[in-house]
Amino acid sequence: MIYDVIIIGGGVTGCCIARTLSKYDLKICLLEKEAEIASGTTKANSGVIHAGYASPREYVKRHLCIKGNKLYTQAAEELNFPFERIGSFVVALEDNQIKQLEDDRKKGIEDGIPGLEVILDKNQIKQMEPNLTDEVVGVLHAPSAGLASPYELTFALAENAVMNGVKFFRNHEVVKIKHQDYTFTVRTYQGEFQGRNLINAAGLYAARISNMLGLDYFSIMPRKGEYILFDRNAIQLNKILFPIPTKVSKGILVCPTLHGNTFIGPNAQNITDREDISTTTAGLKEILEGGMKLVPNIPARSSIRNFAGLRAVPDTYDFIIDNTDVYGFINVAGILSPGLTATFAIAEKVIEFLELLGLELKVKEDYNPVRPKPERFKDFTKEELDKKIQEDPAWARIICRCETIPEKEIINAIHASVGANTIDGIKFRCRPGMGRCQGGFCRPRVIEILSRELNKPYEEITKRGEDTNVLVVKTKDLILKDVLRGASE
Amino acid sequence: MKKYEVDVAVIGGGSAGLAAAIIVKKAELNVLIIERDKELGGITLQCIHNGFGLHEFKEELTGPEYVQRFINQAKELNIPYKLDTMVFEFTPEKKIYAVNKKEGLIEIKAKAIILAMGCREKTRGAINIPGFRPAGIYTAGQAQRFVNIEGYLPGRTYVILGSGDIGMIMARRLTWEGCQVKAVVEIQPYVSGLLRNEVQCLEDYGIPLITSYTVTKIHGKDRVKGVTISKVDRNFDRVIGSDKFIECDTLLLSVGLIPENELTREAGAEISQMGGPVIDNNLETTIEGVFACGNVLQVHDLVDLVTAEAKRAGLNAIEYLKERYNQKIERKEQIKCIAGENVNYVKPDIINKSDLSKDLIFTFRVKRPDRRILIQFKDDKNRIVFKRKRRYVIPSEMIELKLNSSEQQIDPECKSLEVEVVPRPEVLIEED
Ligand SMILES: Cc1cc2nc3c(=O)[nH]c(=O)nc-3n(C[C@H](O)[C@H](O)[C@H](O)COP(=O)(O)OP(=O)(O)OC[C@H]3O[C@@H](n4cnc5c(N)ncnc54)[C@H](O)[C@@H]3O)c2cc1C
Ligand SMILES: Cc1cc2nc3c(=O)[nH]c(=O)nc-3n(C[C@H](O)[C@H](O)[C@H](O)COP(=O)(O)OP(=O)(O)OC[C@H]3O[C@@H](n4cnc5c(N)ncnc54)[C@H](O)[C@@H]3O)c2cc1C
């Protein structure tokens, strides 16, 4: 079989391209090296849907961000992922910073960002966000900024893509690519795939993929951002709060999540290891201090988790979305922030390139853009819940107590298209292990369900994929081995 | 939706819930226990070590043996209970919503509620250990459940962070299973669990206890490969140059427990700083007719004290039904209890002035270990209304003090009462 389009990388970029392309009558597949999609940068980022005033005008990312932000409204309706425009503040703490706010506002309005306003009235500001520091002198308010859950979005994109015929292959790391007679032969450890067009959305590894075809016109540097997440009851913010940006990043923000938690971060640290998502003492201290500048009463004691994400920073500091010199090979690389915001605009851009390459884009008759909302215990009224439980008692067996997640939601997550097959996969799809106990209670039960539904023994259930086995041996095995060794000696 | 009406609903069927329900049932009231697990017993079921029941039964029992005695009694009394049934909401009007596989959604209307939901363990995030998030990091209780109930070992070589009781007990348990426990690392300069566990679980097995150290980094991307531990100074800041690497495939965290009060909070009850609900001297929360006992109220180290507290909660619920239910008696005049010098917290949070003629039971923990001290209660005019000597106090042992109505001289006019643990004046020292 020869695919029309092969996409490498199952982050938000790859999945969004897959879903957008799935509208057309094409044979498409997506290859992802990890056991789950949304395992790379897409898993750990701020999830802010930026308004788009932040990058300078000469960058592509500014324009795709502004466009992408607007596309979220329809996408959220079709794909039913958590998304809310709660608005953001850029917070000036000194009078001389107001000029920059005014500048950003003016250019932003000119470029079509809706509703941007500079607010200098402290009472009004504090009314909109009571947790903000008293030191505030003014804010740039962007009402179109919002929050999305990046991995829930990615799962939704993938599910909808599968509904419309895209094939997903996980645990398929691309290791070699050949290009001959207008056909790409893409080799993975699990077999070869052939396609006419190839899209590189491999995130931190995009330069490596590009190199496989002899192209080396850009490089990608990993830049780490660390976060601290706080318990749901710790503090309630109304707005996404940014400091005045620095040269390297938008600075350390204090931000609510769609699930009622609060996080602070990220910092920005250039590193060399593309897998290094470890957090550091110095980093955690830095973000806590940074966050306190905006919200002095951050309840440091109610942190429930810290984590880090890696930005794929290209040497151009801008998105690299190119029809390359290799015919049919499109790079979608260096998708740093605001890549999540821009994602729908990026996908449209890729389609334009494919069209330029002569790919025939005929809309399928049975294309269905709607991914139904996953059913959640918490969304049901008492009456609906009662009915659901009558239909399937698995709705009544609560697995995650912190987030009230019943067995049924987990089973659904496993059997969804591109469904969960690891503990982390379950956690990112339906949140057991995300709550206060961080898996203390639910993990053994999640393992039990995965083992049963996937028909795999306990020992083969992993946290994230290969090499992360959770359970090592049965009790008595170690002792028995000693006894047996003793007997044979 | 199935609907039930009861006099007293008990949420949680662990040691606390069972003891409370038994008392209520003996008063011939209509009681129901709701338990989310598949059996009654609570956390003690996984505590297969001995050391339970020295006060209550004057015998040394294992956890399951101890709690079985209550389960038997509950069954003899025909106390109704629902298993595999999780309460996900209760309201100030005392309607409880729960689900189970057999009946679906259930609504239980109660006249009084006793909260006995126990506690949960703190995790890595709560202490912010930097590093990767590989497989191989568990809380000690999670590991205990794996080993004692599911029959699996989560790893082979271990470092245990925190010298809480569960951590020390697991160090011994894993050693018995042929695992290697490289060290128990404690950030405080002293052990945080009971002395008896330090001796019986660590010393007897030659497991090193490293105090004033903490884990500062976790190594390994997919699976734990080791940890870096570092010495800390008095402010718990890392001492530069003190790092040591220990190879291990599993890190267990035994860094404390927090009362499980999401439901309580959502129902609108006030929650105190340590995570338990604010209660008065009747163990009644700020929602009338809702009482709390056991680990959901405060983390206990001895099950006997849980049992005693639960019995009191039961008795108070009975009294409430007899004397105050539906009477709209306001709990107005109250005295606030404050944690003073070297006291971490104190329960109750408030005393009703109308109850000053009753015996009052206080429970609290100290912040630091100390010897030859005086526990004293001081009112808002700095008058000492009660004092008692103690040879020693340590944070791992909850202190329970009963103030007989005859012993104390609390002025009904005072607004607050401060509990403090202070050095004894010289003269008193010889008396030891
Ligand atoms: C700290 C931080 C904060 C951010 N905050 C925001 C924000 O608030 N708003 C915003 O809009 N954007 C934000 N971003 C940016 C956003 O997260 C990224 O733009 C987006 O997630 C990029 O997705 P991606 O699919 O390109 O990359 P990834 O998610 O990394 O996906 C690439 C995928 O390719 C796979 N892959 C790699 N090599 C191979 C191979 N050889 N074979 C097969 N598969 C392969 C990887 O496993 C991975 O799953 C932030 C980023 C970071 C790091
Ligand atoms: C690991 C460990 C070791 C210990 N070792 C000793 C020892 O050696 N000696 C000693 O004297 N004491 C020991 N203790 C202390 C003592 O056993 C406990 O403090 C005591 O058992 C707690 O009882 P409890 O009923 O408050 O909580 P639990 O036993 O935890 O019971 C709470 C119950 O409530 C249920 N529940 C919670 N929420 C809900 C809900 N929403 N709906 C329905 N049900 C719910 C839970 O499933 C659980 O069964 C130990 C404690 C622990 C944690």
Instruction: Please tell me if the CB atom of residue A48 comes closer than 6 angstroms to any atom of ligand 1.
Output: yes
Which residues of chain B are within 8 Å of residue A406 when distances are taken between CB atoms? 99
Cis peptide before A143 (omega within 30 of 0): no
Residue A176, judged by CB atoms within 10 A of its CB (0-12, 13-18, 19+), counts as: exposed
Pair (A161, A141) in one structural domain: no
Using pLDDT thresholds of 50, 70 and 90, give the confidence band for residue A464: confident
Q: B210 to each of A179, A362, B163, B190, how far by Cα in Å?
A: 60, 69, 9, 9
> Rounded to an integer, what distance in angstroms lies between the CA atom of residue A274 and that of residue A377?
38
Q: Shortest Cα distance from A394 to chain B (angstroms)? A: 7
pLDDT at A23 over 60: yes
Mean pLDDT of B53-76: 94
Mean pLDDT of B66-91: 96
Using pLDDT thresholds of 50, 70 and 90, give the confidence band for residue A351: very high
Taking the CA of residue A225 as reference, the ligand 1 atom at the shortest distance is 1
Tell whether A489 is covered by a domain: no
DSSP B275: S
Predicted local confidence at residue A469, as pLDDT: 66
Residue found under tokens 């999609």: A37
Mean pLDDT of B388-408: 89
CB pairs under 8 A between A and B: 151
Mean pLDDT of B299-321: 95
Mean pLDDT of B328-332: 72
Pair (A190, A99) in one structural domain: no
Q: Of A373, A393, A417, at which residue does a domain stop? A: A373
pLDDT at A61 over 70: yes
Taking the CB of residue B176, how many other CB atoms lie within 10 A of it? 11
Q: Which ligand sits closest to the CA of B259?
A: 2
Residue B412, judged by CB atoms within 10 A of its CB (0-12, 13-18, 19+), counts as: exposed
Query: B169-224, pLDDT tens digit by residue?
Result: 999 999 999 999 999 999 999 888 888 899 999 999 999 999 999 998 889 887 89
> Rounded to an integer, what distance in angstroms lies between the CA atom of residue A363 and that of residue A477?
59
Tell whether A480 is covered by a domain: no
Pair (A208, A231) in one structural domain: no
Mean pLDDT of A194-199: 98
Which residues of chain A are within 8 Å of residue B166 when distances are taken between CB atoms? none
Pair (A203, A244) in one structural domain: no
Q: What is the mean pLDDT of chain B?
A: 91
Query: B147 — phi, psi (to 5°)?
Result: -75, -50
Query: Do A299 and A286 touch, CB atoms closer than 8 A?
Result: no
B140 CB-near residues (< 8 Å, 6+ apart) = B121, B160, B162, B164, B166, B167, B169, B170, B252, B253, B254
Pair (A255, A299) in one structural domain: yes
Pair (A391, A439) in one structural domain: yes
Query: A264 — phi, psi (to 5°)?
Result: -125, 150
Q: Of A259, A277, A308, at which residue does a domain stop? A: A308
ipTM: 0.72
Pair (A414, A267) in one structural domain: no
Residue A477, judged by CB atoms within 10 A of its CB (0-12, 13-18, 19+), counts as: middle
Query: B107-138, pLDDT tens digit by residue?
Result: 999 999 999 999 988 876 656 677 777 778 88
Q: Which residue, B128, B192, B186, B183, is CA-closest to B158? A: B183
Using pLDDT thresholds of 50, 70 and 90, give the confidence band for residue A430: confident
> Rounded to an integer, what distance in angstroms lies between the CA atom of residue A196 and that of residue A186?
11
Predicted local confidence at residue B105, as pLDDT: 93
The residue ranking higher by pLDDT, A424 or A184, is A184
Q: Beta B50-52 vs B61-62: how paired, if at all?
A: antiparallel
> Rounded to an integer, what distance in angstroms lies between the CA atom of residue B170 and that of residue B202?
10
Tell whether A106 is covered by a domain: yes
pLDDT at B430 over 50: no
Tell whether A368 is covered by a domain: yes
Pair (A55, A177) in one structural domain: yes
Instruction: Please tell me if the CB atom of residue A14 comes closer than 6 angstroms to any atom of ligand 1.
Output: yes
- Residue A150: CATH number of its domain: 3.50.50.60
Query: Do B98 and B4 touch, CB atoms closer than 8 A?
Result: no
Tell whether A408 is covered by a domain: yes
Q: Which residue, B344, B397, B47, is CA-closest to B191? A: B397
Q: Beta A262-265 vs A220-230: how paired, if at all?
A: antiparallel
DSSP per residue, A317-358: SS-EEEE-SSTTEEEEE---TTHHHHHHHHHHHHHHHHHHTT
Predicted local confidence at residue A471, as pLDDT: 59
Tell whether A47 is covered by a domain: yes
Taking the CA of residue B144 as reference, the ligand 2 atom at the shortest distance is 1
Measured on CA atoms in the order A385, A390, A394, A396, is the torsion positive or negative? positive
* Residue B319 in tokens: 């009294």
Residue found under tokens 């909850």: B398
Ligand 2 pocket, mutate which of B37, B47, B200 (most atoms under 8 A from CB): B47
- Residue A236: CATH number of its domain: 3.30.9.10
Host domain of residue A225:
83-145+221-308
Which residues of chain A are within 8 Å of residue B124 when distances are taken between CB atoms? 305, 438
Burial A405-430 (b: 16+ CB within 10 A, else e): bbbbbbbbbbebebbbbbbbbbbbbb
> What domains lie within chain B, and their CATH numbers?
2-120+258-329 (3.50.50.60), 123-255 (3.50.50.60), 335-428 (2.60.40)
Instruction: Please tell me if the CB atom of residue B343 comes closer than 6 angstroms to any atom of ligand 2.
Output: no
Mean pLDDT of A378-399: 91
| H-type alpha helices, A80-231 | 98-110, 122-128, 150-163, 206-212
Residue contact B131–A279, C-beta within 8 A:
yes
Predicted local confidence at residue A488, as pLDDT: 41
State the total domains in chain A.
Answer: 3
> Rounded to an integer, what distance in angstroms lies between the CA atom of residue A45 and that of residue A149?
9
Mean pLDDT of A54-71: 96
Tell whether A449 is covered by a domain: yes
> Rounded to an integer, what distance in angstroms lies between the CA atom of residue A433 and that of residue A410?
12
**Least confident window among A446-455, B35-44, B197-206, B325-334:** B325-334
Pair (A244, A109) in one structural domain: yes
pLDDT at A38 over 70: yes
Tell whether A321 is covered by a domain: yes
- Kindly report the protein residue whose alpha carbon is nearest to atom 18 of ligand 1: A339
pLDDT at A288 over 70: yes
Using pLDDT thresholds of 50, 70 and 90, give the confidence band for residue A482: low
Burial A329-357 (b: 16+ CB within 10 A, else e): bbbbbbbbbbbbbbbbbbbbbbbebbeee
Pair (A275, A403) in one structural domain: no
Query: A251-284, pLDDT tens digit by residue?
Result: 899 999 998 889 999 998 888 888 888 888 888 8
Task: Give the total residue count for chain B.
Answer: 432
How far is the centre of ligand 2, averaged over its atoms, from the C-alpha of B47 (Å)?
A: 10
Mean pLDDT of B347-354: 94
* Residue A377 in tokens: 């215990």
Q: Residue B376 pairs with which residues in a beta bridge?
A: B387, B420
Pair (A237, A300) in one structural domain: yes
Q: Of A265, A291, A308, at which residue does a domain stop? A: A308
Pair (A69, A171) in one structural domain: yes
Active-site positions of A? 50
Ligand 2 pocket, mutate which of B85, B144, B303, B305 (most atoms under 8 A from CB): B303
